[in-house]
Amino acid sequence: MKGVLICGGSGSRLRPLTDITNKSLLPVYDKPLILYPLQVLLDAGIKQIVVISGREHVDQMAGFLGSGGRFGCEFSYLVQDLPDGIAQALGLAESFACGDKICAILGDNVFFDDISKDIQNFDSGARLFLKEVPDPERFGVATLENGKVVSVEEKPPKATSNFAVTGCYLYDSRCFDIIRKLKPSPRGELEITDVSDWYVKNGEASATVLKKEWIDAGTFESLFRAAALVRDSRITPNIRDK
């Protein structure tokens, strides 16, 4: 399995901070945000990782992360020229994946659960990681029946469940065929929810419901909350320079 660390987007909700740096390099307590999703990949034993970022910040990402040697992995870098959606960013990684399964994770997500076994045990289809939240309309929303994903919808005005789809996606190599056939949503993006929806409709989507905290640190409030939770729980990446 290969890792895809998606750090694109305009970061508009965090301006003016993101006028000068990628949001994934902003601090969460005592570590840059990007180290938290990176730790998820490393804990799962993933050693080949591509980092996808906008052209205005890719040099910053490469400058901080380097070749990956000090983290015990190998980084490649790809540029997403325009913020045209998570699925569009993931599609750029097709040649890198080279027919392998992928774990795509967003560079602004902080997971407090240990999901390494779910990643390691993934075989085919899709696996989503869900978290029950009070405001599901802010996210992609999944509906479960008897533990099985039966529908996913992107930011619905009236959510059918409280299960938000978090920013970690396990897909087999067919995801790239699906992305090539996607059409932009009304907001002009290729939606990752539409990729997951293909697997759901074909009965090939499973899910893990997270028990601990999960933060999508894309706003000032959520970034602050992430820092407070990390400080209080002492959950922090155990990455060390090699």
Q: How confident is the model at residue 193 (pLDDT cuts 50, 70, 90)?
A: very high
Burial class for 145, CB neighbours closer than 10 Å (0-12, 13-18, 19+): exposed
Q: At residue 127, does pLDDT exceed 60? A: yes
Q: Report, as an integer, the average pLDDT of 49-53.
A: 96
- Rounded-to-integer distance, Cα 63 and Cα 22, Å: 12
β-pair partners for 128: 169, 207
Question: What's the pLDDT tens digit per position in 10-49?
Answer: 557 666 666 777 788 888 888 899 999 999 999 999 999 9
DSSP state of 70: G
Question: What's the pLDDT tens digit per position in 66-117?
Answer: 999 999 999 999 999 888 899 999 999 999 999 999 999 999 999 999 999 9
* Amino acid making up residue 163: F
Question: What's the pLDDT tens digit per position in 227-242?
Answer: 888 888 765 565 544 4
Where are the domains positioned within the chain? Answer: 2-233
Question: What's the pLDDT tens digit per position in 130-170?
Answer: 999 988 888 889 999 887 899 999 888 888 899 999 999 99
* Alpha helices (H) along 12-161: 35-43, 58-65, 86-91, 94-97, 116-120
Tell me what pLDDT residue 44 has: 97
The set of residues, in sequence order, having a beta carbon less than 8 Å from that of 200 and lying 6+ positions away, is: 126, 149, 150, 151, 152
Average pLDDT over all residues of the chain: 89
Q: Which of 35, 52, 61 is nearest to 93 (CA)?
A: 52
- Rounded-to-integer distance, Cα 175 and Cα 198, Å: 9
Tokens of 5: 């660390």
Model pTM?
Answer: 0.92
Fold classification of 2-233 is Spore Coat Polysaccharide Biosynthesis Protein SpsA; Chain A (3.90.550)
β-pair partners for 103: 3, 170
Distances, alpha carbon 28 to alpha carbons 24, 31, 34, 226, 240, in Å: 10, 6, 9, 6, 17
Tell me what pLDDT residue 241 has: 46
- Rounded-to-integer distance, Cα 127 and Cα 152, Å: 12
